[in-house]
Amino acid sequence: MFLRAIFTALSCGALFIVISDNVPTWVEVLAWVYILGMMLVGVMTLKADQIIAWCDKQLANKNDKNTP
């Protein structure tokens, strides 16, 4: 529950930082990195089945090459 509150505060804070005018540039860059990172995590979550299938295929190909 504590982590959920922390991530909710970070997400809301990042949006307010991007919208605000009186914020240092490095803080705004960190906010954009956080927003884009969360979007990347969301896309990876939606594509998890395909990512797992690709990883299994890569491991199967690696194991086939190593067998005598």
pLDDT digits (tens, 9 = 90+) for 41-58: 999 999 999 999 999 998
Q: Of 8, 42, 7, 14, which is closest to residue 29 (Cα–Cα)?
A: 14
**pTM, two decimal places:** 0.70
Q: What is the pLDDT of residues 8-39, one digit of tens each?
A: 898 888 988 988 889 999 999 999 999 999 99
Q: Does residue 34 contact residue 13 with C-beta atoms inside 8 Å?
A: no
64 pLDDT more than 80: no
Q: Does residue 27 contact residue 20 with C-beta atoms inside 8 Å?
A: no
% of residues, the chain, pLDDT over 90: 51
**47: which 2 tokens?**
């594509």
